[in-house]
Amino acid sequence: MTAEQTTKQTPKQSHVRTAARRRFVAPDLARGLALVGIAMANMVTDWDPAEGVDHAAGLGGYNGDGTAWEKLLVFFETLFVHVRGLPMFATLLGVGIGMIFVSLERRGYPLRARRGVLARRYGFLFLFGLMHKTLFFTNDIMTAYGIAALILCLFIGWSDKALYALAGAAFALNAVLRAPGVFAAFSSTAEPIDGSPARIFDLSDRIAAGLANFWVYPAMGVIEMLAFFPLVVVGFVWGRRGVFGDVDGNSRMLRGWAILAAVVIAAVGIPWGCAEVGALEPRWATGLNATNELAGMLTGPGILAAIALACRPLQSRIDASGTLPPPAQTLAQPLVALGKRSMSGYLGQTVLFILTTQPAFWWATRDATIAGKLGWALLVWLATLAGAWALDKAGKPGPFEWLHRRLSYGKDGLPEHYPG
């Protein structure tokens, strides 16, 4: 990610910053990694949920006693897949907003103009998401992300302290609203049920159904937004403060978030996995799944913080040479390339899942259990990874990134200096 790196703020949180263009590897690397988790989660919960399995139906499922490998994959999902990629993506959305805010400030844009530029950019993100949600994938995340970003535009002039308070209040409100559902899930005696697969027999039928519910989707996006909004705010503060350009100076804060994420992942993911494989009563899986939907949101900033800390040596090499070192070029460059084209990667998953959940592919997916479904999702992600890497080698942006930028900034882009 190329961004405007800021210097340390004054004790009064002054918004006067100096900037130098630097490329931060951690955010792009995190986006690329998040997309594999999103692909796996969407595969087993939306595109092709398991049917008629004995255990872990909501995770891809398996029959009989299951193999050690199948049970290991159940724990892999409960620990690292579900409600992990989406909250990290929401945090990264905020980071991007914060970095654009600083870039516009450096160019002399007053606060009102910065707010207008950001509102236009993320208004188009909302429209992209609404089209995606209506026509192709009901559980689209861009709609909610766009709404969260637009609401954040109202508060971008606030101090870091006030924004953290806003994030805490929003998280508390979401917790209060979700708590009854969590308690009800734990008190239920019902075991988890099989999912309803989103296989597409006729794409025109899906589009017709989406258009019929078009007016419902913005309201759905507002409800979904409440869970993500605190993370977008936290990410914005990080991006505005230049946290990724001064990881050492922010290491204590980042370690705190990483530890919190580890605690949540272990405290929720391990017992949830135990319930799914029968080591605990299966009915507990419903309550722990609901708990993860709430507490799992806290893992977004934490996983991103851990990646930022782990990338310090790599970032130092980039700062010194301007490019990734040779070993990382092979291992990290494809992930970075996908991270730079994350919107195209995300929407590319929809295209591939639509194609591969057609009846022609049922021989590979319909009767597959957890290993087969996660493996198929991995192949879809690898296809988007290869596409992004090819575009990167050719020096081309992702198609949806290009369109989004063109609509947001116009043919010539934003002027280097505020024209007013």
Domain positions in the chain? 21-409
Question: What was the pLDDT predicted at 181?
Answer: 85
Considering all CA atoms of the chain, what is the largest pairwise distance in Å, rounded to the nearest integer? 70
Question: What was the pLDDT predicted at 2?
Answer: 53
Buried b (16+ CB within 10 A) or exposed e, 388-419: bbebbeeeeebebbeebeeebeeeeebeeeee
Contact yes or no for 245/22 (Cβ under 8 A) = yes
Cβ neighbour number for residue 113 with a 10 Å cutoff? 15
CA–CA distance, 324 with 317 (Å, rounded to integer) = 7
Contact yes or no for 188/287 (Cβ under 8 A) = yes
Question: What was the pLDDT predicted at 80?
Answer: 97
Strand-pairing partners, residue 2, are 23
Residue 112 is encoded by which pair of tokens? 């009102």
Question: What was the pLDDT predicted at 191?
Answer: 52
Exposure of 281 by Cβ count < 10 A (0-12 exposed, 13-18 middle, 19+ buried)?
exposed
Residue whose C-alpha is closest to residue 288's, from 274, 272, 270: 272
Q: What is the pLDDT along the chain (420 residues), one digit of tens a residue?
A: 654 433 334 333 333 333 345 678 999 999 999 999 999 999 998 888 877 787 888 898 888 888 999 999 999 999 999 999 999 999 999 999 999 999 999 999 999 999 999 999 999 999 999 999 988 888 899 999 999 999 999 999 999 999 999 999 999 999 999 888 888 888 766 555 454 444 545 667 777 777 877 788 788 888 889 999 999 999 999 999 999 999 999 999 999 999 999 999 999 999 999 999 989 988 899 999 999 999 999 999 999 999 999 999 888 888 777 777 777 777 889 999 999 999 999 999 999 998 887 777 776 666 778 999 999 999 999 999 999 999 999 999 999 999 999 999 999 889 888 887
Residue whose C-alpha is closest to residue 19's, from 1, 7, 2: 7
Residue whose C-alpha is closest to residue 163's, from 100, 90, 237, 112: 237
- The alpha-helical segments, DSSP class H, found in 43-84 are 68-80
Cβ neighbour number for residue 178 with a 10 Å cutoff? 16
